[in-house]
């Protein structure tokens, strides 16, 4: 995470040199500083900064796409011409272990329409979700684990 501080300092320096303390100046400085640090990658062995930053950006974009797509699905079903509503409470076994991973997964599940995190079991082995289209529980469980949890773990580990 030291690289993040370095990147912010570079952005600050850029703002200072240009006497431009605005959001645009900060963004330009941050991007430029990021480019400089990226060129100097061999200097920092074992760093996770770049993968973390780019990974979280990619994950965020993927999540936005997912939110819009499945919102349309719920909309269709509310208006009466979509899939039939079959509510179900499903237990999903967790691979995520740390607080951050579980929280992120739970929030992502809630944000994508059609699924909603209800509870985490006390031993942290399972996540209980409420699904709006829970006709095929096994498929839903596999899909959540496969797309969402895999992506989160890829970024964070």
Long-range residue pairs from 7-12, CB within 8 A, at least 24 positions apart, any chain: 7/33, 7/34, 7/37, 7/49, 9/33, 10/36, 10/37
- Counting contacts by CB under 8 A, is residue 53 touching another protein? no
Interface pick for another protein out of 87, 95, 143, 157 (rule CB under 8 A): 87
Q: Is 2 exposed, middle or buried (0-12, 13-18, 19+ CB in 10 A)?
A: exposed
Binding residue (CB under 8 A) for another protein from 32, 91, 153, 156: 91
**Among the candidate windows 4-12, 13-21, 43-51, 65-73, which touches another protein by CB under 8 A?**
65-73
Does 68 bind another protein (CB under 8 A)? Our answer is yes
DSSP per residue, 64-125: HHHHHHHHHHHHHHHHTSSSPPB-EEEEEE----SHHHHHHHHHHHHHSTTEEEEEE-TTSS
116 or 156, CB closer to another protein? 116
The C-alpha atoms of residue 156 and residue 7 are separated, in whole angstroms, by 20
122 binds another protein, rule: CB under 8 A = yes
Does position 31 interact with another protein (CB under 8 A)? The reply is no
**Which of 3, 37, 90, 96 is close enough to bind another protein by CB under 8 A?**
90
Can you give the binding site for another protein, defined by CB under 8 A? 22-24, 67-68, 70-71, 74-75, 78-79, 85-91, 106-108, 110-114, 116-119, 121-122, 126, 128, 130, 132, 134-135, 137
């Amino acid at each position: 995470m030291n690289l993040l501080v370095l990147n912010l300092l570079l952005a600050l320096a850029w703002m200072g040199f240009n006497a431009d303390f605005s959001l645009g100046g900060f963004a330009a400085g941050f991007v430029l500083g990021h480019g400089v640090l990226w060129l100097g990658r061999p200097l920092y062995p074992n760093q996770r900064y770049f993968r973390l930053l780019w990974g979280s950006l990619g994950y965020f974009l993927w999540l936005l796409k997912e939110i819009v797509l499945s919102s349309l699905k719920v909309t269709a079903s509310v208006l009466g011409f979509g899939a039939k509503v079959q509510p179900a409470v499903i237990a999903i076994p967790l691979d995520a272990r740390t607080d951050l991973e579980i929280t992120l997964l739970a929030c992502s599940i809630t944000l994508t329409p059609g699924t909603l995190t209800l509870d985490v079991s006390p031993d942290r082995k399972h996540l209980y979700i409420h699904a709006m289209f829970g006709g095929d529980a096994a498929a839903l469980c596999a899909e959540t684990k496969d797309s969402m949890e895999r992506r989160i773990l890829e970024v964070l580990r």
